[in-house]
C-alpha cells in the first residue's frame, strides 16, 4: 500500500506514437500541458519482429496451435485427394478421355456455291488462295 506521504503519479501509453520528430513537435505544440516527462522508445532489434511475434504466440498459444493443426489437416486432406485422383487417372486412363487436338474431331463439309458466283469463282481461281472448310471431324482443301 502507498504511504500517505508518497505521491501518486499516473501515466499513459501511446502505441506507435509519435513515430517521428515532427509528430512529437505537433503534440508538444497542441497539448503543452500533457507532455510526458519521459519518453520510451522500444525497438525490436531483430528487424523481422521475432521477439514481438514470439510474445504474441506465447499469449495466444492454445488458439494459434488449434489454427495451425486445422490448417495442417486441411493440407494433408487436399494432398490425399490429389493423390487419390492421380491414382484413379492412372488406373483408368480411358474412362475420361480428353482430346489432345480440338480439330481432330472436325469433319469436312462441301462449301455451297451460289449460282451467280460460280463463274466469278472460276475466273478468280488462279488469283485467290485455296478455301478450306472445316466441320467437326477433319479438314479438306478445295
> pLDDT (tens digit, 9 = 90+) per residue, 6-17?
677 677 777 777
Enter the C-alpha cell of residue 63: 488458439
pLDDT digits (tens, 9 = 90+) for 53-95: 888 889 999 999 999 999 999 999 999 999 999 898 888 766 5
Looking at residue 96, its pLDDT comes to: 53
Q: How confident is the model at residue 127 (pLDDT cuts 50, 70, 90)?
A: low
> Do residues 37 and 29 make contact, with C-beta atoms less than 8 angstroms apart?
no
Looking at residue 54, its pLDDT comes to: 86
CA nearest to 132, candidates 115, 109, 116, 113? 109
> Do residues 107 and 130 make contact, with C-beta atoms less than 8 angstroms apart?
no
Residue 126 pLDDT more than 70? Answer: no
Amino acid at each position: 500500500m502507498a504511504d500517505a506521504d508518497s505521491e501518486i503519479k499516473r501515466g499513459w501509453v501511446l502505441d506507435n506514437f509519435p513515430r517521428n520528430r515532427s509528430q512529437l513537435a505537433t503534440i508538444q505544440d497542441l497539448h503543452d500541458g500533457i507532455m510526458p516527462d519521459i519518453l520510451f522508445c522500444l525497438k525490436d532489434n531483430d528487424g523481422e519482429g521475432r521477439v514481438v511475434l514470439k510474445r504474441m504466440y506465447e499469449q495466444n498459444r492454445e488458439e494459434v496451435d488449434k489454427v495451425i493443426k486445422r490448417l495442417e489437416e486441411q493440407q494433408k486432406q487436399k494432398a490425399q485427394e490429389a493423390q487419390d485422383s492421380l491414382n484413379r487417372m492412372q488406373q483408368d486412363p480411358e474412362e475420361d478421355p480428353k482430346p489432345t487436338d480440338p480439330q481432330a474431331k472436325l469433319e469436312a463439309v462441301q462449301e455451297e456455291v451460289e449460282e451467280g458466283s460460280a463463274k466469278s469463282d472460276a475466273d478468280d481461281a488462279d488469283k485467290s488462295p485455296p478455301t478450306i472448310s472445316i466441320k467437326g471431324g477433319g479438314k479438306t482443301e478445295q
